[in-house]
Amino acid sequence: MENTDKIDGHIGLLDRSEKILSNSKALDNKKTNAQVYVENYLNALSNINNLEESELDSVTNVLELIKRLDAEGISGELPDFIEGRLSPHDSNSESDLEKASLEISIRKQIENYYLPKHLVEAIVEKGSIPEESEQCVVGIGFIDIADYSFLSKFLTPMENQIVLNGLYASFSWVLQQHGGYLNKIEGDSLMFHYGGNIDPKIRDLDPEEAEKYIAQELFYTCIHMQRVAFLFNDANDSFLYGSDNEEIQKQVDEAFKIIGTMRTSELAKTINAFFQIRIRIGANIGEVTIGNFGPEGGKQWDIIGVPVINAKRMESTAPIGGFRISETLYKILDGTGLTEAYYHRFKREAEAMFGSFSTITRDELFKFGKVTLKDKKGAEFNTYSIQVNPALPEAMMNQVELLVNRDEIGAQRIVQLLQYYRGNKFVINAIEATLISKEIILRKASIFSYIFPLKYKTLIDEYDGDIQKIEESLSKTYRVFDLFEMMGHLQDIIKEDMETDKTSEILFADYETYIKELEDLTRKENDHKETRVYQRNYFYSFIYPMVFKSINASILEYQHKAGELSEI
């Protein structure tokens, strides 16, 4: 009778409690996806429906389920969106329960799907969301896929998405191995970083130890990502050895199905010649502001500061297949002995392959160079470009071997590769060797005449106008890389700062004298600037393009002869 009174007093509690129990069991089965939500949802359900006062078996089962969840250590506050959806007086309570349960699950899925897991785990470990931004040393890296607009032409929009997802899943796996944070993905570019107030790996380190740790992990990550890109390009998933992340494996497998099909199709030779995924990476380290940026409802955990901008500049000027780092980062790495250790490791790998890089020097592996900032009135800062793949020259030889018979577009692609790698002696020498093996005649006399017209006229006089002898002499003296290097020196000369203001060097004595000296200096500087503008325009509009057009014409000449022979 007592139970009947309670049922009457709670609007058919028996019927509803059975439904609540059924719904609770369903939620219990989903608790791995929504643990905190499930316990608090059931607690709220119990309180609102006064289940604690009932002795029904179904109610007892619900309460025991709540106790078990509580014993498992699940805790937290009830999300606001649940309030108002569990009223015991709503005739559609079963529908509301189902909707609330579904919403709990969906919201948790959204969190898992879109929020960076590394960020969530780091904040949970910290114990709260950092409300205040802070300044700290962070290592930043940027990745860009070289010429992806060209590569994307070989794929449908959906295939592009699948391949990119697989590539970024691979990079994400690398970051997981090193404890890095995937900051953002924008199209065919990616940003990642190390350090900050939520990075558990540096929480107990002093500033100097933290800086060394960040620098080393950033360096190894750049190497690891480049090597993963090489393997990914060949649909080789050996880099995932030991991974238990099913989602990453699935995305990589889907991408490899597309790449593998392309590599083995009837057009495999053409595809292999043109479709080669290669990336460039830039990295820097420095003090940035890290924290929450953006409006309410659209906040992002991010970093801002000059070191971030400079890291992006590193990437935009990085060698394809390698990476560029700032001098600051290099000095930290060099101080730990890492640069020396990496050099010996790289050289051993190249020697084991009997590759071109087996003779590389330390200065060639870590190649010093200045990056000019056009948006900063020609300001320069020191950098180091670093090689990663010990077999890169041989890989380029293989690609050129495939491209050389691919008509005009193949010739253009070879020229683009020469432009990309014109500062890399080993790659350029390898490409030249491939072209020579095909008996392609590179007109070095012609190239020399574009770069040094006056010196070429002297050679004309010296050899009595015999172009053939000039060609033989220059071919013995210079390799293509040597000519590129001389062209680079010429480019450096004409890129000298045109914004230099020497008026500050004039001392004021009296008005008339001061103005007269300013007039004379300004006229002289304007004349000088006009000369430099002409030289710069002439270099970029004539010298540079004609050097590569000459090489392009040599390849076309070979293709034309090969076509004539095939018709006989």
For residue 43, what pLDDT is reported?
Answer: 60
Same-domain status, 143 and 255 = yes
* Residue range 389-408: mean pLDDT, rounded: 94
pLDDT value of residue 265: 83
Per-residue b/e over 537-552, b at no fewer than 16 CB within 10 Å?
Answer: eebeeebbeebbebbb
Residue whose C-alpha is closest to residue 277's, from 314, 236, 329, 306: 236
Same domain (yes/no): 81, 6? yes
Per the DSSP assignment, residues forming a β-bridge with 323 are 281, 386
Question: For residue 367, is it left (φ>0), alpha (ψ between -120 and 50) or beta?
Answer: beta
How many structural domains does the chain have?
Answer: 3
Confidence of residue 408 (pLDDT cuts 50, 70, 90): very high
* Strongest mean pLDDT among 35-49, 78-92, 278-292, 369-383: 278-292
At 472-519, the pLDDT tens digits run 999 999 999 999 999 999 988 877 655 555 666 778 878 888 888 888
Last residue of a domain, one of 48, 82, 114: 114
* Whole-angstrom distance, CA of residue 198 vs CA of residue 183: 13
pLDDT in tens, 49-94: 555 555 556 666 666 666 665 665 544 444 444 444 444 444 454 5
Q: What is the Cα gyration radius of the chain?
A: 33
Structural domain includes residue 208? yes
- Quick check: is 269 in a domain? yes
Nearest to 107 by CA among 78, 127, 71: 78
Q: Is residue 240 part of a domain?
A: yes
The pLDDT of residue 9 = 42
Smallest CA-to-CA distance from 369 within 409, 323, 402, 400 is with 323
Same domain, 268 and 189: yes
Q: Which residue has the higher pLDDT, 395 or 529?
A: 395
Q: Which two structure tokens, joined as six digits, stand for 144?
A: 């860009």
State the Cα angle at 393 between 400 and 273, rounded to 5°. 25
Element containing residue 370 per DSSP (H, E): strand 366-373
DSSP states of 101-168 as a string?
Answer: HHHHHHHHHHHHHHS-HHHHHHHHHHTS---S-EEEEEEEEEEEETTHHHHGGGS-HHHHHHHHHHHH
Tens of pLDDT, residue by residue over 102-127, are 666 676 666 666 666 667 666 666 66
**Which pLDDT score is estimated for 47?**
56
- The predicted pLDDT at position 331 comes to 97
pLDDT at 256: 94
Beta-carbon contacts of residue 63 (< 8 Å; ≥ 6 apart): 46, 51, 52
Query: In which element (H, E) is residue 288 found?
Result: strand 279-293
> Given 80, 114, 148, which residue is the final one in a domain?
114
Mean pLDDT of 256-260: 93
Tokens at 216, concatenated = 């080393």
Residue 25 predicted with pLDDT over 70? no
With 90 as the cut, is the pLDDT of residue 440 above it?
Answer: yes
Say whether pLDDT at 322 is over 50: yes
196 with 313, same domain: the answer is yes
Q: Which is more confidently placed, 387 or 122?
A: 387
Residue 255: HSE in the Cβ half-sphere, 13 Å Cα cutoff? 26
pLDDT at 82: 44
Mean per-residue pLDDT, 161-170:
94
103 and 238: one domain? no
CATH number (domain holding residue 305): 3.30.70.1230
Collapse the DSSP code of 326 into the 3-class scheme (helix H, G, I; strand E, B; otherwise coil) and give the result.
strand
Long-range (24+ apart) CB contacts under 8 A made by 423-428 are 423/319, 423/367, 423/369, 423/385, 423/484, 423/488, 424/319, 424/387, 425/364, 425/481, 426/356, 426/357, 426/360, 426/364, 426/392, 426/393, 427/392, 427/393, 427/396, 428/479, 428/480, 428/481, 428/484
Residues 184 and 281 in one domain: yes
Three-state DSSP at 279 gives strand
Nearest C-alpha neighbor of 384 from the set 282, 496, 278: 282
Q: Are residues 190 and 92 in the same domain?
A: no
The mean per-residue pLDDT over the stretch 324-337 comes to 96
Burial class (CB in 10 A: 0-12, 13-18, 19+), 91: exposed
Domain assignment of residue 236, yes or no? yes
Residue type, 291: G
Pairing status of strand 279-293 against strand 323-326: parallel
Polymer length of the chain = 568
> 9: which residues sit within 8 A by CB, 6+ positions away?
none
Distance from C-alpha of 145 to C-alpha of 252, rounded to nearest angstrom: 17
Q: Kindly state whether residue 416 falls inside one of the protein's structural domains.
A: no
Please list, in sequence order, all residues whose beta carbon lies within 8 angstroms of the beta carbon of residue 268, skipping any fewer than 6 positions away. 262
**Which residues span the domain enclosing 40?**
2-114
Asked whether 301 and 438 are in contact (CB, 8 A), the reply is: no
User: How far, in Å, CA of 173 to CA of 80, rounded?
Assistant: 35
Would you call 1 exposed, middle or buried from its count of C-beta atoms within 10 A (0-12, 13-18, 19+)?
Answer: exposed
Whether 192 and 311 share a structural domain = yes
Q: Give yes or no: residues 25 and 100 share one domain.
A: yes
* Contact present, 168 and 143 (Cβ < 8 Å): no
User: Of the residues 340, 355, 386, which one is the last residue of a structural domain?
Assistant: 386
pTM for the full predicted model: 0.74
d(CA 122, CA 126): 6
pLDDT exceeds 50 at position 533: yes
Other C-beta atoms within 10 Å of 249: how many? Answer: 15
Query: Does residue 290 contact residue 136 with C-beta atoms inside 8 Å?
Result: yes
Q: What is the rounded CA–CA span in Å between residue 312 and residue 306?
A: 10
Least trusted range by pLDDT, from 192-201, 263-272, 293-302, 476-485: 293-302
The per-residue pLDDT for 268 is 84
Whether residues 471 and 324 share a domain: the answer is no
Whose CA is closest to 315, among 422, 446, 444, 222?
222
Residue 18 has pLDDT above 70, yes or no: no
Residue 195 lies in a domain: yes
Pairing outcome for strands 279-293 and 181-186: unpaired
With CA atoms as reference, report the closest residue to 478 among 523, 529, 543, 432: 432
**Residues in a beta bridge with 372:** 380
For residues 185 and 298, state if they share a domain: yes
- The model's pLDDT over 539-564, given as tens digits with 9 standing for 90+, comes to 999 999 999 999 999 999 999 988 76
DSSP state of 200: G
On whether residue 225 sits in a domain, the answer given is: yes
**CB 468, CB 444: distance < 8 Å:** no
In whole angstroms, what is the distance from residue 6 CA to residue 9 CA?
A: 5
Amino acid at position 267, single letter: L
Q: Do residue 186 and residue 319 come from a single domain?
A: yes
pLDDT of residue 565: 54
- For residue 3, pLDDT over 60 is answered with no
